[in-house]
């Protein structure tokens, strides 16, 4: 049972049959065609030799197939992780150097080890600390930076920089060195790939292909761009005209590599590796959950951490660099009919065959074509329209998203990630420290209690009910005291205050002290404190404290019972007594 938890292949492998095998093979063939140019492009984006992209697409995929829980997730090099690798490793050595490659291997190993450790400790919930607006903002900004960084390859010029201002400055400074043949290839390839993405599928359907076949054929468009542009370079000797090409790629399987053990290097890469792990996991698990929901399947986030960690550790020992689940290729994998992670293993076999036999045909591939592939892929991640929707829905979330975008664009990827994580935590703490609470009254002719500001309800000036809509913790304990005492001060006739706890799932020690303090302060003012609709686990905890013994009021099973009984008690308290002057005046005694 425990072994099955850590090796999901033991679960899905039992039902593997010929039909599933066929579907996985078809999906693998299509993803392999898509992944070959992407792997080369993303490796070069990361500042690495192109063959490393192929190496990172072999054993890491197999490792995920063994340990991952998603049936459709396609693991490998992706744009955002490649950019983060470039940023982190560039602080160690110049891109492309032996030291830079060694840093990328160490980055993959540390990232993988952290992910595995988090999975074993079942810390998958930590991904929830990154809010969706912040993640969306970071990916949008990263997409813009990546697309801008690839313009140098489209124009055939040199440019550098990790943030948008520096990138734009170096691009404009070198515009006079633009290479015309490179521009023609780059713009043509970009336009073709955009058309393939939007226009090829409708055309193929008009020609009689079934929609699914047309869609999968259109997904293989980048291969056509690679073949045509490579052929053009060879036929017209464009390399002599200044068109930069990929160059010779070794014909080999991934080498066995050992990450360099240098404490100083590991220390410098620890924080970037952690940030890379978190972003990679959030991106991957989001895609995996989305695709799993479409087939009514489920994934285990903690096991996903182990699967992605194993993939990154495998990359570090086979000449690769950090990997994660990619959105575009995972969707293609899903649409192509992949039914199990074995499709990923078959994809790895296809990439291995390409690394052994097809790399000579890629030597004359223009780098401009790879840049076009990256630009088209990453611009699909840019979603500025979300800013408008988030602005309308939540101003704090908009501020966090906008700040993440600006910091990433102006300062670079790593500061953007740190800002995003910090803003997510700050937003969470701010919301937790200011829980929603409402003064409620009874809806006439019902037993329901609603906010007095939203509904016409019945209240009594002698009784005040405060409904608390969050758990009570050290973050909001002081706020609760201030809110309750403020409300008491505004109700001079108050005798009974009820804390309606129907939405309270927990009360920690700090909040308990605050409730006890409220109880004593209200008693000093002649007001009794009551609790209503306290949940079982919360009541169990309160019974282990002194609060229930010292409580001036009662704990009521229902709010309606509390309200009705306290009105009766207040009426009885207000009823004339035999020795009242009024009774004497009326001659009743």
Cite the DSSP H helix spans in 121-262.
132-149, 151-155, 164-173, 180-195, 201-206, 211-219, 221-235
pLDDT in tens, 78-120: 988 999 999 999 999 999 899 999 999 999 999 999 999 999 9
Burial class (CB in 10 A: 0-12, 13-18, 19+), 282: buried
Distance CA 74, CA 68 (A): 10
Q: Under a CB-based contact definition with an 8 Å cutoff, are residues 378 and 83 in contact? A: no
Kindly report the pTM of this predicted structure.
Answer: 0.80
Who has greater pLDDT, 319 or 221? 319
List residues bridging with 339 in a β-sheet: none
- 323-334 burial string, b = 16+ CB within 10 Å, else e? bbbbbbbbbbbb
Quickly list DSSP for 52-116: HHHHTTTHHHHHHHHH---SS--EE--HHHHHHHHHHHHTTS-TTSHHHHHHHHHHHHHHHHHHH
Percent residues over pLDDT 70 in the chain: 96
- 291-317 burial string, b = 16+ CB within 10 Å, else e? bbeeeeeebbbbbbbbbbbbbbbbbbb
pLDDT in tens, 25-52: 888 888 888 888 889 999 999 999 999 9
* Dihedrals phi, psi of 578, to nearest 5 degrees: -55, -25
Residue 316 pLDDT grade (very low, low, confident, very high; cuts 50, 70, 90):
very high
Q: Under a CB-based contact definition with an 8 Å cutoff, are residues 142 and 416 in contact? A: yes
Who has greater pLDDT, 293 or 154? 154
Burial class (CB in 10 A: 0-12, 13-18, 19+), 4: exposed
Tell me how many helices (H) and strands (E) the chain has: 28, 8
Q: How large is the average pLDDT for residues 296-313? A: 90
pLDDT at position 577 is 64
Range name among 330-334, 384-388, 527-531 with the lowest pLDDT average: 330-334
> What is the average pLDDT value for the chain, to the nearest integer?
89
Please state the domain extents for the chain: 2-428, 437-574
Q: Under a CB-based contact definition with an 8 Å cutoff, are residues 501 and 538 in contact? A: yes
The encoded tokens of residue 178 equal 């633009």
- pLDDT of 335 strictly over 90: no
Residue 286 pLDDT grade (very low, low, confident, very high; cuts 50, 70, 90):
confident
CATH architecture observed for domain 437-574? 2-Layer Sandwich (3.30)
Q: How large is the average pLDDT for residues 258-263? A: 92
Residue 585 pLDDT grade (very low, low, confident, very high; cuts 50, 70, 90):
low
pLDDT in tens, 415-471: 887 888 788 788 888 888 888 899 999 999 999 999 999 999 999 999 999 999 999
Beta strands in 436-512 (DSSP E): 437-442, 449-451, 463-468, 496-500
* Dihedrals phi, psi of 325, to nearest 5 degrees: -75, 130
- 542-555 burial string, b = 16+ CB within 10 Å, else e? beeeebeeebebbb
Q: Which whole-number Å values give the CA distances from 383 to 83, 131, 388, 394, in the listed order?
A: 18, 16, 10, 17
Q: Left, alpha or beta for 370 (phi > 0: left; psi -120 to 50: alpha)?
A: alpha
Q: How large is the average pLDDT for residues 110-139? A: 86
Give 352's contacts (C-beta < 8 A, 6+ positions apart): 58, 253
What does the DSSP 8-state code read for residue 506? -
- pLDDT of 572 strictly over 70: yes
pLDDT in tens, 271-280: 999 989 988 8
pLDDT at position 313 is 97
């Amino acid at each position: 049972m425990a072994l099955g938890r850590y090796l999901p292949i033991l679960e899905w492998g039992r039902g593997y049959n010929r039909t599933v095998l066929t579907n996985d093979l078809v999906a693998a063939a299509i993803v392999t065609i898509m992944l070959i140019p992407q792997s080369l492009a993303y490796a070069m984006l990361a500042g690495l030799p192109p063959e490393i992209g192929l190496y990172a697409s072999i054993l890491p995929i197999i490792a995920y197939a063994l340990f991952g829980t998603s049936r459709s997730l396609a693991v490998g090099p992706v744009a955002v992780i490649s950019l983060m690798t470039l940023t982190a490793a560039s602080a160690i050595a110049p891109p492309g150097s032996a030291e830079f490659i060694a840093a990328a291997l160490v980055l993959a190993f540390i990232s993988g080890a952290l992910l595995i450790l988090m999975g074993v400790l079942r810390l998958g919930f930590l991904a929830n600390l990154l809010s969706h607006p912040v993640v969306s903002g970071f990916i949008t900004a990263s997409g813009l930076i990546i697309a801008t960084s690839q313009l140098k390859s489209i124009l055939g010029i040199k440019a550098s920089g990790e943030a948008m201002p520096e990138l734009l400055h170096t691009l404009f400074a070198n515009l006079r060195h633009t290479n015309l043949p490179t521009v023609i290839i780059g713009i043509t390839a970009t336009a073709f790939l955009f058309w393939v993405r939007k226009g090829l599928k409708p055309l193929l359907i008009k020609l009689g292909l079934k929609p699914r076949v047309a869609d999968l054929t259109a997904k293989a468009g980048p291969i056509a761009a690679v073949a045509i542009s490579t052929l053009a370079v060879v036929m017209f000797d464009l390399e002599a005209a200044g068109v930069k090409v990929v160059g010779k790629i070794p014909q080999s399987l991934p080498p066995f590599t050992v990450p360099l053990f240098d404490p100083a290097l590991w220390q410098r890469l620890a924080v970037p590796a952690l940030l890379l792990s978190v972003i990679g996991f959030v991106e991957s698990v989001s895609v995996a959950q989305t695709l799993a929901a479409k087939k009514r399947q489920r994934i285990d986030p903690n096991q996903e951490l182990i699967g992605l960690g194993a993939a990154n550790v495998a990359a570090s020992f086979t000449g690769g660099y950090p990997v994660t689940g990619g959105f575009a290729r995972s969707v293609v994998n899903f649409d192509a009919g992949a039914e199990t992670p074995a499709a990923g293993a078959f994809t790895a076999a296809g990439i291995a065959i390409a690394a052994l036999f097809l790399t000579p045909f890629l030597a004359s591939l223009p780098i401009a074509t790879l840049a076009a592939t990256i630009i088209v892929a990453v611009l699909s991640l840019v979603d500025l329209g979300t800013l408008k929707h988030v602005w309308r829905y939540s101003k704090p979330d908009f501020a966090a998203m906008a700040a993440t975008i600006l910091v990433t664009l102006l300062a670079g990827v790593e500061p953007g990630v740190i800002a995003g994580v910090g803003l997510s935590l700050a937003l969470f703490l701010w919301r937790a420290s200011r829980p929603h609470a409402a003064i409620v009254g009874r809806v006439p002719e019902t037993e329901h209690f609603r906010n007095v500001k939203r509904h016409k309800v019945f209240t009594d000036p002698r009784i005040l009910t405060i409904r608390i809509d969050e758990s009570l913790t050290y973050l909001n304990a002081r706020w609760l005291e201030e809110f309750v005492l403020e409300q008491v001060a505004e109700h001079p006739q108050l005798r009974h205050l009820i804390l309606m706890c129907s939405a309270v799932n927990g009360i920690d020690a700090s909040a308990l002290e605050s409730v006890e303090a409220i109880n004593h302060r209200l008693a000093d003012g002649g007001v009794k404190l009551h609790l209503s609709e306290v949940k079982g686990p919360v009541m169990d905890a309160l019974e282990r404290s002194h609060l229930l013994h010292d409580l001036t009021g009662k704990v009521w099973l229902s709010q309606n019972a509390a309200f009705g009984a306290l009105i009766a008690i207040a009426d009885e308290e207000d009823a004339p007594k035999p020795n009242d002057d009024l009774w004497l005046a009326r001659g009743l005694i």
